[in-house]
Amino acid sequence: MGESVIPEAPKLSKEELDEQIRRVLMPCDPTVDQTLVEFDFRSCTYVEKMPAPGILELFNLESNVSYEGDLSFDLPEPAGPLADIEEEDGDGKNERESEDGSGEERGEDAEASDRDGDTDHSEGATVGGDRSEEDGVGGEGGGGAEDGDEGEQEDDDPKPAAKNVKVTRKKLANQFNYSDRGALTYKVISRDESTQTAPPPSSSLKEQLYQWVIFDDYQRDYANIVAAREKERKEKQILARHDAASAAAADRAAERANSQDGGSQESRLFHAVKIMERMVTQNTFEDIAFDNVLAYKTKGIVCIYTLKNPSHPEYRFKFKTGAQTVDIHNKEPYFIAIGLYNGMVAVANIKKGHRTVRLESDLNRKHTGTVWEVRWCDDPRDRQLGFYSAGSDGKIFKWLIQGQELSMIPVITLSLEHEMTLGTTMNNLNANAQCIAFEPNNYEIFLVGTAEGLIYKCSISYSCSYLYVYKAHDLPVYRLSYNPYIPDIFASCSSDWRIKIWENCKPEPLYVFDLYCSVMDVQWAPYSSTVLAATTSEGKINLFDLNVNKNQPICVQTITYPENSYTTRLRFNNKLPVLIVGDSVGYLVSLKVSPNCRIPTKATKKNIFIEPRQLEIMKLERVLSFVREPTALTSLEINKGQNQEKN
């Protein structure tokens, strides 16, 4: 290669040729003196002087070659300018080509190793391939023999070449800050495991079925059934025979006892039987609370029941006319006052030993209308027991038990006011008293409800004037009931569907409840100051608790009656939360108030002990405070009214 390039060489002798000439390439310029020193006057020492940079510029040529084409592909090409320079040097084309060929070969080798080796190393391999390719391209650009070269490549191995070109184009997009990184995630190790549950228990059955098998089975089964029936029947017969025998024996014994012992034995037997009956019914009605309670019927019979034996009355009094009302004396509960339909009153004494004493009022001295209500009074001035009666003739009488007679004292005659009468001629028309109620703890004051819807507040001291008149209802007032805790509060009910709760001498009611059918009876509960019960003509019992709900009853119980009957009366037991309801046909129903409806009142502050009665009063006062008009406001209004009048 050297000989062909160098045209002429100087002729040298053998010695000269053999002489070894050592040449050493130095990194620094040997011509520059490295040991120059300079005297520094300030420090009075010689200081080494840095040599001047020994670079000499011999030749400088700016390139004027420009490339037209894909910049992104060629710009970062490091081989481009080099190739240009080499071309300018004027080197032979063959030489370049041979170089290209060797490059090509190297590329191929690298490619082969790539294909053999792991893909992990492909990165480096492709880079190597790239370089070789670039070299080739550079040479071709210079030589202009692009086509031939490519043809060669394709002949040799077209596929890898194509691949190379492709990869190269991608990789060279940005050669300077390109980096590649690979990572391998952990392998998830899988493992096989298997279990088997115990199979459900099984057994096997082997049988042959023929028609005769079925037939025989049916026959056998039928025979069994028949036998069982027979046996049952026989047992029954035996039992019946036993019963008959024992009954006969008992009869015989009873007969013997009667004949031998006579009357005293009989009464004792009666007593025993009575206790027995009580026991039996008590077992039957186990849930019902036990206490003596009075009940009544309105068909001319007064029956006295006990809760211990609801199936049969303890005492029974018959009257010619209907008995309208009864009342039991508070302190002497064996005295019972009865009001009759024909205007008479009666008293029954069921004290043991007295054997049901009955006193009836005189035919001459009686109400001229039905007696609607009787009330025992406990006037301390009276020595005898006395009671009041209200009749539809508008009169209130007081009756005193004097020995074996009843003496009558007229108390008041209720006459309608002028506004209520239809004309002037009817001025002295009497009101139709429907009910009467005495203020608790005050024997003098009482209320009378009339069929005209008025409520009169009267005193036994005044026989012709009233203390107050409430224009309460539009239809007859059926019942009045004083609150047992605050005597200023009372409730009234009427057939105009309403229950009203009043405060003493206030013209407007505090509460009005509309029950959408005639309210036959209303009673305050003795156990709570805010609870009242009402019964309606539809046979419903409504239980109100003002403390819980001021608008709706807290409990409504429909009592299933025979048709065409309605509930008439309702009464609380004084000690137990038991209600008794009577109806127009003569049925009595006793109800127990659910514990949910009578949760006892609790004191707000635990430290202070307040009597239960006081608590109840406070509760009612609180409830009423919501509906009472504030006193300040009312006085203001009055003042305003006065002012207006003045003006």
Partner 1 sequence: MGEERGSGEEANKKVVHIYPLVRTCDMIDDMRNEAIELIVTACEKHAANNEMAAKVIKDNLDVKFGPSWHAVVGEGFGFNISYECKTLLYLFFGGNTGICIWKC
Write the CA distances from 36 to 47, 49, 52, integer angstroms.
9, 5, 11
Q: Give the whole-angstrom CA distance, residue 502 versus residue 628.
A: 11
Whether 494 contacts 484, CB under 8 Å: no
User: Judging by beta carbons within 10 Å of its beta carbon (0-12, 13-18, 19+), is residue 429 exposed, middle or buried?
Assistant: middle
Q: C-beta of 211: minimal distance to partner 1 in Å?
A: 6
Q: C-beta of 227: minimal distance to partner 1 in Å?
A: 15
Counting contacts by CB under 8 A, is residue 221 touching partner 1?
Answer: yes
Counting contacts by CB under 8 A, is residue 196 touching partner 1?
Answer: no
Q: C-beta of 208: minimal distance to partner 1 in Å?
A: 4
Q: C-beta of 236: minimal distance to partner 1 in Å?
A: 24
Query: Residue from 13, 208, 259, 404 that binds partner 1 (CB under 8 A)?
Result: 208
Counting contacts by CB under 8 A, is residue 353 touching partner 1?
Answer: no
Which amino acid would we find at residue 236? Answer: K
168-174 LR contacts (CB < 8 Å, sep 24+): 168/126, 168/129, 168/130, 168/133, 168/134, 169/73, 171/126, 171/127, 171/130, 172/73, 172/76, 172/130, 173/72, 174/76
Counting contacts by CB under 8 A, is residue 207 touching partner 1?
Answer: yes
Query: Residue from 218, 290, 468, 626 that binds partner 1 (CB under 8 A)?
Result: 218
Query: For residue 469, what are the contacts with CB-CB under 8 A and spacing of at least 6?
Result: 417, 454, 455, 456, 457
Counting contacts by CB under 8 A, is residue 209 touching partner 1?
Answer: yes
Query: For residue 420, what are the contacts with CB-CB under 8 A and spacing of at least 6?
Result: 452, 454
> 387 - beta bridge partners?
376, 399
Q: C-beta of 223: minimal distance to partner 1 in Å?
A: 11
Site string for partner 1, 388-427 (x = CB under 8 A): ----------------------------------------
Counting contacts by CB under 8 A, is residue 264 touching partner 1?
Answer: no
Counting contacts by CB under 8 A, is residue 201 touching partner 1?
Answer: yes
Q: Give the whole-angstrom CA distance, residue 531 versus residue 525.
A: 5
* Closer CB to partner 1, 55 or 205, in the complex: 205
Counting contacts by CB under 8 A, is residue 197 touching partner 1?
Answer: no
Q: Is 497 left (phi over 0), alpha (psi -120 to 50) or beta?
A: left
* Closer CB to partner 1, 220 or 622, in the complex: 220
Which amino acid would we find at residue 278? Answer: R
Return the structure tokens found at 411: 């108390």
Site size toward partner 1 (CB under 8 A) is 20
Counting contacts by CB under 8 A, is residue 206 touching partner 1?
Answer: yes
Dihedral angle over CA of 610, 613, 616, 621, nearest 10: -90
Query: Residue from 16, 154, 217, 255 that binds partner 1 (CB under 8 A)?
Result: 217
Q: C-beta of 247: minimal distance to partner 1 in Å?
A: 40
* Segment interacting with partner 1, rule: CB under 8 A, options 148-156, 211-219, 371-379, 453-461: 211-219
Q: C-beta of 219: minimal distance to partner 1 in Å?
A: 8
Binding residues (CB under 8 A) for partner 1: these are: 200-215, 217-218, 221-222
